[in-house]
Amino acid sequence: MNFVTLSFVLFFLPVLLVGWSIRRMSGLYKWFLIVAGLVFYGFAGPVYLSLLLGIAALNWGTAALMPKLSDLGRKLLISGNVVIHILILVYFKYYEFLVLNLISMADMVGWDFSCLFSSALADIVLPVGLSFYTFQGLSYSIDHYRNKELRPRSFMDVLAYVSFFPTILSGPIMRENDFFPQLQQRRVADAADFTEGMAYIVSGLFKKVVLASYLSEHIVDGVFTTPQDYSSLAVLVGVYAYTIQIFCDFSGYTDLAIGVARLMGFRLPSNFNSPYKALDLQEFWHRWHITLSTWLRDYLYIPMGGSRKGNRYFNLFMTMLIGGMWHGSGLTFLIWGALHGLGLAVVHGFKKLLKMIVGTSRVPFWIGTPAKVLSWVITIHFIALLWIFFRAESWESAIQVIERMLALDGTGNGFTALVLLAIICGLAIQWIGPWLYRHFTGVQARLPWVIQAAVIALLCGLIMNMGPEGTLPFIYFNF
C-alpha cells in the first residue's frame, strides 16, 4: 500500500484514531499494532503473510533457544538461521538470474542444465519489503547470539517488531533497542508528536510527489529508456535528475514513514542526513541509507574483520559488493556495488596516506575551501555516474547512456527549465532542509492545533495538486 494514495489515508485515519485512544494500554496497543501491520502488509500481498510470520517465528525461536545451548550450539543455531535467511533471499531475488547464468555457462561446454529452470518458479513475484524485514529480523537474533545478557522477547513482541507497518515496506531498518523500549513505555499522544510528525509527512510528500515524480516523468524515464533520442546535454541533465530523483524518492518515503510512526507514538532512526553534502565517499555512506549502511557495517564488515583483521580494503570491497547484490540480481547492481567498494577503498587509502604525511586524515586548513569544493564536485559526480548503473535496466543500457552523454551531440530532445529548477531544489534541500524543518515546526508549535491542522491540510492539498496524475510507486519497493 503506497503512502501517497487515498487507500492508505482510509487505512491510516481509523488506525490513528483508535491508536490514540488506547496508547496507554500497552498490551492492547501491541495487539492493535500487530493487527494493523498484518492488514497493511496483506494489501501489498496477502499470499506472503505466511512468509512474514515465518521470519518472525524463526528469529523469535532462535533467540529463545540461545540461553539453553552451549557456545557451540549457539554458533550452530545462529549459522543455520543466517543460512535460511540467505536461502529465502536467494530464492525470491536471485533464482532466475543464477539458474539462467548457470545454464548459459553449461551450454558453453556442451552440458544441458535446462532441467534446473522452472518458469513457474521464475514467475514468483518478489514479496514487497522482504529485504527490509529479513534484515530487521536477523539483527534481533544475531544481537541475542552476541549478547548473552539480552532477555528473549515474546513471540508477539517480535511479531510487532517485524510487522510494524510504517517500516515494513522500505525501512528504516530498526534494531531491537530502537523499538522495544518504545513499545513497552506507552504514553498519551502529545503535541510534539503531531507537529513534528506532520512536518515529516509534508516534507515526504513534497519530495516524492513534486520533485521525484516530476523528474521521473519529464526526463529520467525517457533518457534511460531511449538515450539516443536525447541530446548529450539532455542525457547529462537526465543523470543529474535521477541523482535527485532517487534521493527525493527514498528520503521522501523515509520522511513519510518517520512522520506516520511519530503520529503513532514511535521515533524511528534517521535514514538520511543531507547525503549530497558529502565531501568524500566515506562521508556519503555515513549520510545515505544510514540504517542499511550501519547494518552492513555491524553484521558484515566488522565480522569479516573490518579494519582490524585481514585486508581492510578487501573487506570494504566485499561489503559494498554484497550491498549491491542486496539491491538486485542484475549485473548492473554488482557493478554499482563493486565500484562503490573500490571508491571507498581509494578514499580510505588516500586518508591513510594523508595522515602519514600531515598527521591527520582531514584536509589541512591551509588548503581550505577550494580543496573542499573540488572534493565535493568529484564526490557528487562519482555518485551520479554510478547511479546510471543502478537505474539502467541492463549493462548495455547503462553503456548506451554513458556513450550518448559523452558524444557531445546537440541533436535530439532537450529538457525544460522546470527540470533544472527541480534539480536545483532537490540539491538545495541538502543545505536548507534541516533549517526549514526546525523553523516550520517552531512556528507550528506556537499555533493552536486547529490552525496547525488547517495549515497541514492546505500544504498537503497544494502538494498533491502540484504533482503528476497517478503518483509512481516508491523506487525502493523493488528491493
pLDDT at 124: 62
CA separation for the pair 65, 379 (Å, rounded): 46
CA separation for the pair 209, 228 (Å, rounded): 28
pLDDT at 82: 96
- Enumerate residues 6+ apart whose C-beta is below 8 A from 189: 20, 23, 265
CB 43 within 8 A of CB 244: no
Question: Does the pLDDT value for residue 61 go beyond 90?
Answer: yes
pLDDT at 365: 54
CB atoms within 10 A of CB 431: 11
- What is the band of 210 on the pLDDT scale with cuts at 50, 70, 90? very high
- What is the band of 206 on the pLDDT scale with cuts at 50, 70, 90? very high
CB 16 within 8 A of CB 10: no
CB atoms within 10 A of CB 411: 9
pLDDT at 188: 65
- What is the band of 79 on the pLDDT scale with cuts at 50, 70, 90? very high
Q: Which three cell numbers stand for residue 242?
A: 535521477
Least confident interval from 198-212, 243-257, 307-321, 417-431 = 307-321
Least confident interval from 145-154, 189-198, 219-228 = 189-198
pLDDT at 161: 96
CA separation for the pair 18, 265 (Å, rounded): 13
Rg (CA), the chain: 24
**Coil, strand or helix: which one is 272?**
coil
Query: Looking at residues 278-307, what average pLDDT do you find?
Result: 94
E strands along 379-441, which residues?
A: none
pLDDT at 24: 82
Question: Does the pLDDT value for residue 120 go beyond 50?
Answer: no
CB 205 within 8 A of CB 252: yes
- The tens digit of pLDDT for each residue in 340-375 reads 999 999 999 988 887 777 666 565 555 567 888 899
- The tens digit of pLDDT for each residue in 4-23 reads 888 899 999 999 999 988 88
- The tens digit of pLDDT for each residue in 449-470 reads 889 999 999 999 999 888 777 6
The answer to whether the bond into 172 is cis (omega within 30° of 0) is yes
Percent of the chain with pLDDT over 90: 69
Residues serving a catalytic function are 327
CB atoms within 10 A of CB 101: 13
Query: Looking at residues 287-299, what average pLDDT do you find?
Result: 96
The alpha carbon torsion through 122, 124, 125, 128 (nearest 10 deg) reads -120
